[in-house]
Amino acid sequence: MWKKTQETVKFLKEKGFVDIDYAIILGTGLGNFTDVMDIHIRIPYKEIPNFPVSTVVGHHGELVYGSIGDKKIMAMRGRFHYYEGWSIQEATFPVRVMKYLDIDTLIVSNASGGVNSAFKTGDIMLITDHINMMPEHPLRGANDERFGPRFVDMHEAYDKQMIAHMNTIADELGVGLQQGIYLALQGPTFETPAEYGMVRRLGADAVGMSTVPEVIVAKHMGMKCFGVSVITDLGVEGQVEEVSHEEVQKVAKIAERTVGKLVKRFIETY
Ligand code: HPA
């Protein structure tokens, strides 16, 4: 893993991925965040040594380097999910690479199902914490101390200062936000009504199939993390409705412009 990481880092540095302030992983329907960036370099995942190639419709599969104001950004258009068949270490490999590109802050976005009865479809939720219910843990196995410690503190997985700053920006822009806990299941099935009920009773506000492994790996390496989730469907007890990937993408697409505006301003001002 270490050797592969160094190989990929060397390749990307030679391509010009240097001096990066923020890494951002763009999930379902949010891939066009790059529209608000000045793009300098784009490389398809398949041309990057050791990178997996994403197989999900709506995930673009390219790495973008660009800027917003005077901040440099590396954006992943499309992520790797455990349900695609990658091991959890493969799925989180790009996060390993980020750290050795000297990036110390990770912004993640995703789509999720809301289980909090105060939520509406299309709401934007800042992730305040997570519950890891994935069947594999990305840090299982011998620990490589060059990446980080064996036992990782997770008391503030999602940076409180960044959350506070985003709330200020949302106020300024007149955008209403939700906040809550994201629970990760492996998917690829959406949840049954009984499972949504379980998610709620476990203490979460939203459920999805990604993000948590990425944040765990980022925290292992001492990175700061910030996460935003678009509530694309509701799994509220007693009123669970049919959900499809198309519907998830449609709702995420509508929220995309608002999320883009928020994150752009966030990066300009943080
Ligand atoms: N469940 C799991 N993942 C999801 C959902 C959901 O309801 N919506 C979008 N991603």
List all residues whose CB is within 6 A of at least one atom of ligand 1. 111-113, 190-191, 207-209, 232-233, 235, 243, 248
For residue 190, the CA-to-ligand 1 centroid distance in Å is: 6
Please, are residues 205 and 115 in contact by the beta-carbon 8 Å criterion?
yes
Residue 125 belongs to domain spanning: 2-269
pLDDT tens for residues 4-42? 999 999 999 999 999 999 999 998 767 788 888 999 999
**DSSP-derived secondary structure for 87-146:** -HHHHTHHHHHHHHTT--EEEEEEEEEE-STT--TT-EEEEEEEEE--SS-TT-SS--TT
241 pLDDT band (50/70/90 cuts)?
A: confident
What's residue 254's pLDDT? 85
SS3 state at 263: helix
Number of compact structural domains in the chain: 1
162 Cα: distance to centroid of ligand 1 (angstroms): 25
The DSSP symbol for 190 reads P
How many residues are present in the chain?
270
Average pLDDT of the chain is 93
What pTM does this model have?
0.94
Distance CA 187, CA 48 (A): 27
Q: Look up the CATH number of the domain holding residue 110.
A: 3.40.50.1580
